């Protein structure tokens, strides 16, 4: 492997130059600035004119029903509950609860005031007027009314059915409903336009219900957090406060209904028992008068002791059977079909208590549904069907319990009869009186028990309170949308990302040579040097007194050329490229000038027979040239040589008339004679030829040349065209090929070719920032 190829391999393994990568983007800094300004401006408009949303939250404590003054009534099943915190969340999220709250707030109308840019919703004290509806048809839902306030007494109403002028407080009848518009505040004298949007409470409740979030507060077992996001904070606060208020009212209403029904049931039973107890007391009085009985306590001690125990048990059984019969009678009464069933009192049967509890829960649910729906609703029918099934189950369970109690009672009566037969010494009258007293005791116990429970139910009705308490009333915070800092941050990032992405895509789609690394990676051909953009349209930039950076670069290339061809003859230099416009003529003329400045005699031969530009660029005539010499047998070389007037030692040979067949013309043997003749007369012969990537003219001249300089122009030469010079280098089609990079800039990432150029050179005047901006805007 040659030294040049080794250097090329080492360059391939070099890491990416971060500085050059960053410079690709920094040269478009003005695009980043413009993009950031535009995005920040858009963010400002978005934040300025987007309707802000506020977060409203409240905390609610849900108490445990088993705690508090009602605990003594739990044996009646009146205030027992199996609801957990999850059930309370479902109730608070129910549509019926939200619908009732919105109805009490009269939110079937929303008010908007037209602004200069957007329409703003107003609420509460900001309302310029209020619409009170008497009757609304379903066709009114979703309809908007435009009200133009003229003064404090009149307004103009405009809707789909036309417009009209009315007075505040006047009842207005429209095809979709009847309503009244109240007068604005007295201090509101300016003309204003208010847009009123009518809503269906059920749909509006569904919308707010979807936005309402109910969740346990900070993992608490009994505290709930209610939150809502709304553009009007006062409205959101009122909605959450009203929801918690309605929730507490419904709990109180349910408890009051249950307690009232229980009191009514006990009152009915007390009236019946009072009559029975009165009859029994009369029987006792009559029996004692007839039999002259005053005291039977001392008779039959052992019999009495046993009989008392049996009597107590039979009394308990009688109470239970009587209660069961009362409940069964209550269920069979058609008037109580949709009323709450009283508790099972002292019937300690879990199944019966559970069935009655479920039955009462369904009755309450049915009453709650009927507040917002009709009795013929399928939901109500479904609840009725469930109630009927539960009623049948309760009746069947009562029959089973009563049958079991009857069997127990018969067993006790049998044992009581056996005990009585063992004490026949007790008089018959004593036994009969005891039976009367036993019947009296049973009814007395039932009466006293019911009377006690009635007092408890009355106390609970008077002291009914909600099992919930608002810890923190609803408060608003925010706005939570739009988040100003986040919007500006996103705008800033977008302002950076958009031009960054655009530049990246542009660079990815750009197939031209942009950096020295692109050339080094594509070919092992050695790089002779690179040239900056001259910044001028002049062809000849290297003169005796020139100290510009471009002139110094040509001097450096001249030195590199001498080192590259040290020990070898290098009199004839071929200059070519991939295509036209890469600076062959410019390079040829100025390289020749730099050689002339060292005391050499140099000739530049314009061998681009297809598009001659050498003499034209230098302002020389093109009447005689190569074509004249090749077709003439007698024309001497001196006639086609044109010396440069300002640069002695430099001669130019133009093309002359363009030949009709340049490809065949350049193959003439006289071409070699011409080049050999010029070699004898000059120290250097520089041939400016046609692009080798487009025509084969340059390859026809290679037998007469000593080296070849291949021009590559930054941001102009395609990367794919570098394969041409790489092929020339590997296949040795040309002698000693070398590359010169033209039109270099800072962002092209020079690796030191041309280091030190411009040292000691001072510009007379630096370009103004306006010129810099104009130059950069060419992109």
Residue 484 has pLDDT above 80, yes or no: yes
Strand partners, 469: 61
b/e sequence 667-704, b meaning 16+ C-beta within 10 Å: eeeebeebbebbbeebebbbbbbbbbbbbebbbbbbeb
Nearest to 740, CA basis, from 534, 520, 528? 528
Residue 712 confidence (pLDDT): 93
Q: Rounded distance, CA 347 to CA 317, Å? A: 10
b/e sequence 596-615, b meaning 16+ C-beta within 10 Å: bbeeeebbbbbbbbbebbbb
9 or 250: which leads in pLDDT: 250
- The DSSP symbol for 755 reads T
Q: Rounded distance, CA 58 to CA 241, Å? A: 8
SS3 662: helix
SS3 229: strand
Strand pairing report for 144-149 and 154-159: antiparallel
Tell me the average pLDDT of the chain. Answer: 80
As a whole number, mean pLDDT of residues 465-469 equals: 73
pLDDT band at 697 (very low <50, low <70, confident <90, very high): confident
Residue 198 has pLDDT above 70, yes or no: yes
Task: Report CA Rg, the chain.
Answer: 55
Residue 14 has pLDDT above 90, yes or no: no
Residue 508 has pLDDT above 90, yes or no: no
Q: How far is CA 510 from CA 84, 530, 567, 716, 717, in A?
A: 68, 21, 41, 10, 11
CATH of 516-776, one of 3.40.50.300, 3.40.50.720, 3.40.1190.10, 3.20.20.70: 3.40.50.300
The total of other beta-carbon atoms located within 10 Å of residue 327's CB is: 22
Residue 195: half-sphere exposure toward Cβ, Cα within 13 Å: 12
Q: What are phi and psi of 200, to 5 degrees?
A: -85, 120
Structure tokens that stand for 604 in this block: 């530049």
Give the start-to-end residue ranges of the domains of the chain.
3-50+482-509, 251-470, 516-776
Task: Give me the percent of the chain exceeding a pLDDT of 70.
Answer: 83
Residue 495 has pLDDT above 60, yes or no: yes
Residue 688 confidence (pLDDT): 92
Number of DSSP helices (H) and strands (E) in the chain, helices first: 22, 21
SS3 17: coil
SS3 239: helix
Over the stretch 221-233, which tens digit does the pLDDT of each residue have?
788 899 999 999 9
Residue 166 has pLDDT above 60, yes or no: yes
Residue 740 confidence (pLDDT): 93
Over the stretch 127-162, which tens digit does the pLDDT of each residue have?
888 888 888 888 888 888 888 888 878 888 888 888
Strand pairing report for 707-713 and 572-577: parallel
Ramachandran region of residue 153, left (φ > 0), alpha (ψ -120 to 50) or beta?
Answer: alpha
pLDDT band at 427 (very low <50, low <70, confident <90, very high): low
Q: Rounded distance, CA 666 to CA 522, Å? A: 31
Residue 120 confidence (pLDDT): 87
SS3 463: coil
Over the stretch 257-293, which tens digit does the pLDDT of each residue have?
877 888 888 877 778 778 777 777 777 777 666 655 5
Q: What are phi and psi of 683, to 5 degrees?
A: -75, -35
pLDDT band at 237 (very low <50, low <70, confident <90, very high): very high
Residue 639 has pLDDT above 80, yes or no: yes
Q: Provide the whole-model pTM.
A: 0.56
Residue 192 confidence (pLDDT): 79
CB 530 within 8 A of CB 553: yes
DSSP string, 120-173: EEE-GGG-S-EEEEEEE-GGGTT-EEEEEE-SSSEEEEEETTEEEEEETT-EEE
Residue 291 confidence (pLDDT): 56
pLDDT band at 13 (very low <50, low <70, confident <90, very high): very low
CB 380 within 8 A of CB 370: yes
Task: Give me the percent of the chain exceeding a pLDDT of 90.
Answer: 17
Nearest to 168, CA basis, from 181, 149, 150, 178? 181
Which are the contacts of 652, defined by CB distance < 8 A and separation ≥ 6?
Answer: 603, 604, 606, 614, 615, 618, 620, 641, 642, 643, 644
Nearest to 261, CA basis, from 338, 355, 315? 338
Q: Rounded distance, CA 241 to CA 228, Å? A: 11
Residue 368 confidence (pLDDT): 83
pLDDT band at 347 (very low <50, low <70, confident <90, very high): confident
Residue 43 has pLDDT above 60, yes or no: yes
Q: Rounded distance, CA 13 to CA 73, Å? A: 90
pLDDT band at 451 (very low <50, low <70, confident <90, very high): confident
Residue 575 has pLDDT above 90, yes or no: yes
Ramachandran region of residue 749, left (φ > 0), alpha (ψ -120 to 50) or beta?
Answer: left
pLDDT band at 81 (very low <50, low <70, confident <90, very high): very low
Residue 605 confidence (pLDDT): 93
Give the range with max mean pLDDT: 70-74, 297-301, 574-578.
Answer: 574-578
Residue 667 confidence (pLDDT): 86
SS3 282: helix
**Burial, 15: exposed, middle or buried (Cβ in 10 Å; 0-12, 13-18, 19+)?**
exposed
Which are the contacts of 512, defined by CB distance < 8 A and separation ≥ 6?
Answer: 714, 715, 716, 717, 718, 719
Helical H runs in 477-569? 484-509, 516-522, 549-564
pLDDT band at 375 (very low <50, low <70, confident <90, very high): confident
Q: Rounded distance, CA 615 to CA 619, Å? A: 6
Q: Rounded distance, CA 598 to CA 29, Å? A: 43
């Amino acid at each position: 492997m040659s030294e040049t190829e080794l250097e090329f391999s080492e360059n391939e393994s070099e890491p990416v130059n971060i500085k050059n990568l960053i410079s690709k983007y920094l040269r478009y800094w003005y695009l980043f600035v413009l993009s950031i300004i535009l995005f920040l401006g858009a963010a400002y408009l978005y934040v300025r004119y987007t309707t802000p949303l506020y977060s409203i939250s409240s905390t609610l404590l849900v108490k445990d029903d088993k705690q508090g003054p009602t605990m003594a009534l739990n044996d009646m099943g009146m205030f027992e509950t199996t609801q957990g915190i999850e059930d309370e969340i479902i109730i608070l999220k129910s549509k019926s609860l939200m619908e009732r709250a919105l109805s009490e707030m009269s939110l079937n109308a929303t008010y908007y005031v037209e602004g200069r840019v957007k329409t703003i919703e107003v609420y509460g004290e900001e309302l310029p007027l209020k619409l009170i509806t008497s009757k609304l048809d379903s066709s009114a839902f979703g309809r908007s009314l435009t009200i133009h306030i003229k003064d404090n007494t009149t307004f103009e109403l405009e809707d789909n059915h036309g417009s009209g002028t009315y007075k505040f407080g006047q009842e207005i009848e429209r095809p979709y409903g009847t309503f009244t518009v109240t007068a604005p505040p007295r201090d509101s004298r300016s003309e204003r336009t208010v847009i009123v949007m009518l809503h269906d409470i059920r749909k509006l409740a569904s919308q707010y219900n979807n936005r309402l979030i109910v969740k346990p507060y900070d993992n608490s077992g009994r505290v709930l957090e209610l939150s809502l996001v709304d553009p009007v904070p006062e409205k959101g606060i009122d909605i959450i406060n009203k929801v918690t208020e309605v929730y507490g009212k419904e709990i109180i209403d349910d408890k009051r209904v249950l307690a009232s029904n229980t009191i009514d049931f006990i009152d009915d039973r007390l009236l019946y028992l009072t009559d029975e107890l009165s009859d029994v007391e009369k029987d006792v009085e009559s029996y004692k008068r007839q039999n002259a009985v005053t005291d039977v306590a001392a008779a039959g001690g052992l019999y009495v002791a046993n009989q008392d125990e049996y009597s107590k048990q039979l009394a308990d059984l009688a109470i239970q059977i009587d209660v069961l019969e009362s409940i069964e009678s209550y269920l069979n009464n058609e008037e109580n079909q949709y009323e709450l069933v009283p508790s099972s009192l002292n019937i300690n049967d879990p199944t019966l208590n559970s069935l009655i509890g479920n039955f009462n829960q369904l009755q309450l649910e049915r009453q709650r549904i009927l507040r917002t729906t009709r009795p013929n609703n399928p939901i109500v029918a479904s609840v009725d069907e469930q109630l009927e099934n539960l009623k049948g189950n309760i009746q069947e369970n009562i029959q089973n319990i009563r049958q079991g109690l009857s069997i127990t009672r018969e067993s006790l009566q049998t044992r009581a009869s056996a005990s009585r037969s063992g004490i026949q010494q007790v008089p018959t009258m004593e036994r009969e009186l005891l039976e009367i007293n036993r019947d009296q005791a049973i009814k007395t116990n039932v009466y006293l028990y019911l009377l006690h429970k009635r007092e408890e139910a009355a106390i609970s009705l008077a002291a009914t309170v909600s099992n919930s308490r608002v810890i923190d009333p609803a408060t608003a915070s925010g706005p939570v949308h739009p988040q100003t800092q986040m919007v500006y941050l996103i705008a800033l990032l977008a302002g950076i990302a958009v031009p960054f992405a655009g530049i990246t895509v542009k660079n990815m789609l750009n197939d031209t040579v942009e950096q020295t690394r692109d050339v080094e990676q594509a070919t092992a051909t050695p790089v002779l040097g690179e040239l900056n953009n001259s910044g001028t349209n002049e062809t000849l930039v290297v003169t005796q007194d020139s100290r510009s950076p471009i002139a110094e670069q040509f001097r450096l290339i001249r030195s590199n050329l001498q080192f590259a061809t040290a020990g070898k003859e290098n009199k004839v230099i071929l200059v070519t490229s991939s295509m036209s416009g890469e600076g062959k003529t410019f390079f040829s003329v100025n390289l020749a000038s730099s050689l002339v400045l060292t005391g050499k005699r140099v000739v530049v031969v314009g061998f681009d027979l297809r598009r001659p530009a050498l003499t034209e660029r230098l302002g020389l005539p093109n009447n005689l040239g190569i074509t004249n010499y090749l077709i003439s047998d007698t024309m001497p070389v001196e006639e086609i040589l044109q010396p440069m007037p300002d640069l002695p030692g430099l001669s130019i040979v133009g093309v002359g008339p363009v030949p009709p067949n340049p490809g065949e013309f350049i193959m003439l043997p006289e071409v070699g004679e011409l080049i050999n003749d010029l070699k004898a007369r000059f120290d250097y012969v520089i041939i400016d030829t046609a692009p080798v990537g487009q025509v084969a003219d340059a390859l026809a001249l290679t037998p007469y040349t000593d080296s070849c300089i291949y021009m590559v122009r930054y941001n102009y030469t395609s990367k794919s065209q570098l394969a041409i010079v790489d092929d020339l280098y590997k296949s040795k089609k040309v002698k000693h090929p070398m590359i010169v990079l033209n039109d270099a800039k800072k962002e092209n990432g020079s690796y030191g070719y041309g280091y030190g150029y411009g040292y000691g050179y001072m510009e007379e005047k630096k370009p103004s920032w306006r010129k810099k901006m104009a130059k950069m805007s060419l992109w």
